[in-house]
Amino acid sequence: MLKPIPNTLIAFLIAVFNTACGQAQYPNNNKISLANFNAAAQATVVLNNQHQIIPLKNLENATLVSIHFGNKNASVFDSILNKYAHIQRINGNQYLKNKFVNSIENAIVTYNTVIVSLDNASVLNDETLNFITSLDKRKQLIITLSGDEKNLALLDNFNSPIIFCSLVTPESASFTAQLIFGGVSCKNQLASNVSSKFIKGMGADIQKCRFNFTLPEDENINATDLNPIDTIVAQAIKAKATPGAVVFVAKNGKVIFNKAYGYHTYQNQTAENVADIFDLASVSKLATTAAAMRLYETGKLNLDTVISAYLPETINTNKQNIKVRELLLHQAGLVPFIPFYERLKIGDYSRKPSNYFSVQVADSFYIANDYFKKTMWPIMLNSPLKNRGTYLYSDLSMYFMKQIIENICQQALEDYLQTQFFKPLGMYSTGYHPRQQFDKSSIIPTEQDTYFRKTLLWGFVHDQGAAMVGGVAGHAGLFSNAADLAILFQMMLNGGSYGGKQYLKPETIALFTSKQSAVSRRGLGFDRWDSNPAKEYPSKYASKHTFGHTGYTGTCVWVDAEQNLVYIFLSNRVHPKVTNKLSDLMTRTRILDHIYKTIYKSN
C-alpha cells in the first residue's frame, strides 16, 4: 500500500481534480497522483449493497445532499460528485454546535438521497451515529468511511450501503465519489473479519458505467504532450477567431482533458469555464436524430415511409412522397435554408411582450404566436424541390423531422428529449431556452445582431429561423456544456448504455452512424468521416468509424468508435460578428489531429 501524498502536493491535486483532471502540466506530479488514485482503488471496499444502490441510477428522480463530518478532503469529494449530479453540500460539524438534529433535519427535508462522509473521529460520536441511524430508516442513504478498518464495527447496525477506504487522501476522496456514480469499478473484499457482520471475503462488485475523471497518464499519455492544444487555441483567440473555447477529450470512457480558454467576450471580463453553456447550432441536429433513433427502434418511425404519412399537411404538396430516410440524408431536394427574418413585416413583431406577441426571439424582441403556423410553415410546405436524390445539406430537413417527431409523440421535441435522454443521462446543463433554466452568467453570448434583432444574442439561439419558431427547432436551438454533451455520445459509443440504463439498441446506433448514402459520406442524421483522403475530414487520422457534426457557432463533436474517442470543441466564433477565421485556421481539425498523434505516440 502506498503512503499518502505529501502535503505540499495536496493543493495541486485539489486543483487538478476540481478542473476535471485534464489540465495538469506536471507529469511527475500526475504520476504520483495516479499512483495514489490506484492505491485508493485497491484500498476501497463496498458493503451492504445487496439492493444495488451503488452505483446510483435514475438520476432524474434523485435529489442529493452530501453531509460531511470532519472530512478534510470534502472539497475534492463534492467537486467530483457535482460532475455527475447537482449536489447540495452541508458541513455536519457546524450543526453539532447548536441544535444539531432539528437544524440539519430541516436542511435536508427536500432531499431523497443523502451521502454521509465519516472519518475516524466522527464515527465515534454518538450524536452523529444517532442521526445517521434515523436517516438509515427514512432516506436512501450512502455512508462513506475513511480511516481505520476497525471502525466499521461501529456501523454493524446499518442497512444502507457503506463505502470504506483505509486511505485519507484527495485521491481516495475522488475515487469514492466516482464510485458512487459508477465512474470507476471496485470488486475488493475484506481481508479479515472486522465484526460479526463484516467478515472476511465480504465486498460488492461495482461495475463502471459512467465517465471516469482521470489524468492523461491513465491512458499512457504524457500530459505535456497535450500542451500544443493550448497553442492552437491561443492562436485562434489572438486572431480573434473566437474570444474563448472549451476542449474536451475522453478516451475509453475516461475524461483525460477538459479545459477552458479565453473569455466570454473580447472585453475579457468573464473567464471561460469548462461548465459554461454554449449555443450548439447544428450539433442540435444530433439530438433530433437521437429522438428519431428512439422512435425508429420502437417501431413508431419507418425510415422508408413517405412523410405525408406522418405530416398530413404535406399531402398534395411536392413534399408528400419524400421519405424519412431522404430527410436524414439531406437528399430530399429541399432548399438549404429560407431567410424567414427578411419576411417579417410591421405587425408581425413587437419590442414588448403581450398575449399576442409571446414568442420571444431575443431580449426585447417578440413575434406573433401564430407566425410559424400561418407564415413559416406554409412557406416551407410550398418551397421548391430541386435535384432530389442528390446531396444538398438543408436545415429544412430537420424542421420537417421536428414536426414528424412531435406528431408521433404528441409531445414537444424539447420535452421528449428531456424525459428520454437528457434528464436520465444526467445532462443537467443541456436544453433549449437556457435563459429560463440557467444563470445568464454561465451562458456564452454569440452575435451582436445588427440586422435582425438589433441586440447582443445572449442565451437566445443564434439561428434566426430557430429563434422565430420559439427557440426549439430540429436543426438548432440546443444549448449545452462540453461534459454534458459528451455523455450523450459516450452512451452511443457504449452501444446505447450509460449509467446502467439502456437508451438505444446497438444495432440502431450502428445503422444511423454508418455510411448510408451512395452519393455522400453521410449517415442518417450524422456527418461522418470522408473517404476522400484529400479532404482529411474531420481529421487526416480519423478512422472510417468516425461520426459527429459541426455547428455554425464554432462547435463540433466527433466520435471515433475505433479509438473509443470523444472529442468536443465549443466556441462562440460568431461573436461579436460572424467571421470565417476559425475555419481558416482549421482550429477544430488541428486539435483533433494532435489528439490522434498523441494517442498514437502513447501506443
Taking the C-alpha atoms of residue 417 and residue 310, their distance in angstroms, rounded to an integer, is: 19
State yes or no: pLDDT of 502 exceeds 50.
Answer: yes
pLDDT of residue 223: 95
What distance in Å separates the CA atoms of residue 458 and residue 435, rounded to the nearest whole number? Answer: 8
Q: What is the mean pLDDT of the chain?
A: 94
- Note the pLDDT tens digit of each residue in 105-115: 888 999 999 99
Mean pLDDT of 362-388: 97
- The distance of Cα 217 from the centroid of its chain, to the nearest Å, equals 23
Other Cβ atoms less than 10 A from the Cβ of 441: the count is 9
Greatest CA separation for the chain: 81
In angstroms, the Cα distances linking 582 to 42, 217, 241, 337 are 45, 30, 5, 22
The pLDDT-based confidence of 94 (bands split at 50, 70, 90) is confident
Residue 348: the pLDDT is 96
Cβ-proximal residues to 298 (8 Å cutoff; 6+ apart), any chain: none
CA distance 587 to 175: 34
Give the pLDDT confidence score for residue 97 in this predicted structure: 67
Do residues 47 and 205 lie in contact, with contact meaning Cβ atoms separated by under 8 Å? no
Inter-residue contact 48 to 161 (CB < 8 Å): yes
Query: Helix 74-81 to helix 7-18 angle, to the nearest 10 degrees?
Result: 20
- The answer to whether residue 14 scores a pLDDT higher than 70 is no
Q: What confidence category does residue 100 fall into, taking pLDDT thresholds of 50, 70 and 90?
A: low
Q: Grid coordinates standing for 187?
A: 470488486
Q: What was the pLDDT predicted at 27?
A: 59
How confident is the model at residue 24, as a pLDDT? 41
For residue 101, what pLDDT is reported?
Answer: 62
Residue pair 423/487 in contact by the 8 Å Cβ criterion: no
Task: Count Cβ atoms within 10 A of the Cβ of residue 50 and give its class: 0-12 exposed, 13-18 middle, 19 or more buried.
Answer: exposed
Give CA separation, 436 vs 141, 464, 504, in Å. 32, 19, 29
Which residue is associated with the grid cell 456527418? 527
pLDDT (average), residues 358-372: 97
Q: Summarize pLDDT for 148-183 with one digit per residue, the tens.
A: 999 999 999 999 999 999 999 999 999 999 999 999
SS (H, E, C) 387-451: CECECCCCCHHHHHHHHHHHHHHCCCHHHHHHHHHHHHHCCCCCECCHHHCCCHHHECCCCEECC
At residue 104, the pLDDT reads 86
Query: Number of helices (H) and strands (E), helices first, in the chain?
Result: 20, 22
| pLDDT score for 26 | 56
Residues 6+ apart with CB under 8 A from 194: 149, 150, 152, 153
- pLDDT tens, position by position, 277-299: 999 999 999 999 999 999 999 99
Residue with cell string 436542511? 107
Burial of 341 (0-12, 13-18, 19+ CB in 10 A): middle
Dist CA 218 CA 211 (whole Å): 13
**Using CA atoms, how far apart are residues 73 and 40, in angstroms rounded to an integer?**
14
CA 297 to chain centre: 23
Answer for the pair 393, 549: CB distance below 8 angstroms, yes or no.
no
Residue type, 153: A
Cβ atoms of 206 and 55 closer than 8 Å: yes
Residue with cell 407566425: 371
C-alpha cell, 51: 439492493
Please choose, from the candidates 182, 179, 134, 176, the residue with its C-alpha nearest in 3D space to the C-alpha of residue 159: 134
Instruction: Please state, in angstroms and rounded to a whole number, the distance separating the CA atoms of residues 592 and 586.
Output: 10
Nearest Cα neighbor of 400 from 464, 307, 297, 337 is 307
Looking up cell 492523461, which residue turns up? 216
What would the DSSP string read from start to end of 499-554?
TTEE-S-HHHHHHHHS---SSSS--SS-EE--S-TTT--S-TT--TTEEEEEETTT
Q: What is the pLDDT of residue 387?
A: 95
Rounded CA separation 512/330 (Å):
14
How high is the pLDDT of residue 99? 58
- pLDDT value of residue 603: 84
**Backbone torsions φ then ψ of 267, nearest 5 degrees:** -80, -10
Query: Domains in the chain and their CATH numbers?
Result: 7-214 (3.40.50.1700), 275-484+510-564 (3.40.710.10)
In percent, how much of the chain has pLDDT > 90?
91
- Is residue 556 helix, strand or coil? strand
Whole-model pTM? 0.94
Laid out side by side, the sheet with 365-367 consists of 349-350, 365-367, 359-362
Give one DSSP letter per residue of 299-363, joined into a string.
TS--TTSBGGGT-GGGTTSTTTT-BHHHHHHT-S-B-S---GGGG--TTSEESS--SSS-EEEET
- Given a cut of 70, is residue 413 above it in pLDDT? yes
Give the pLDDT confidence of 78-93 residue by residue, as tens digits.
Answer: 999 999 999 999 998 8
Span 21-57, pLDDT tens digits = 444 445 579 999 999 999 999 999 999 999 999 999 9
| Average pLDDT score over residue span 462-469 | 98
Question: Residues, the chain, total?
Answer: 603
pLDDT value of position 226: 97
**How confident is residue 96, by pLDDT bands cut at 50, 70 and 90?**
confident
Does residue 374 have a pLDDT over 70? yes
Residue 593 near residue 539, CB atoms below 8 Å: yes
Q: How many CB atoms lie within 10 A of CB 109?
A: 7
Query: Taking CA 293 as the corner, what is the angle to CA 288 and CA 299, rounded to the nearest 5 degrees?
Result: 130
